[in-house]
Structure 1
Amino acid sequence: MDKSKVIAAYRRGFLTVRECGQILGVEELQLQSLLKLEESKQTVAPAQRKIGS
């Protein structure tokens, strides 16, 4: 499973922090680093996609 999808599920409340770490196969310190990294990626606005044209 894609790590960003697992982290998104954690942020939405579908997973606990422990479950998220188990799925990703990382320890708590590594998970905290991944969460910070994903958060910094989300602060950069993605490009807008046009559908149909």
Structure 2
Amino acid sequence: MAYIRHYFPGVDLERMSDEEFASLSEEALWLHDQFMVHNSARAFFAPPTSD
């Protein structure tokens, strides 16, 4: 539920069916995974900084 609240803050969970909730939670989890993969890849392939 935390991912749904984070990625889809305007969704009214009280009026949502169980099937809609399940679908939206899968979408939120997929979206979170995409952000994590993107951030991990960006950190791995980032050019070295010269301090």
TM-score range, shorter chain: 0.3 to 0.5
TM-score by length of 1: 0.43
Structure number with bigger Rg:
2
Whichever structure has more helix as a proportion of its residues is 2
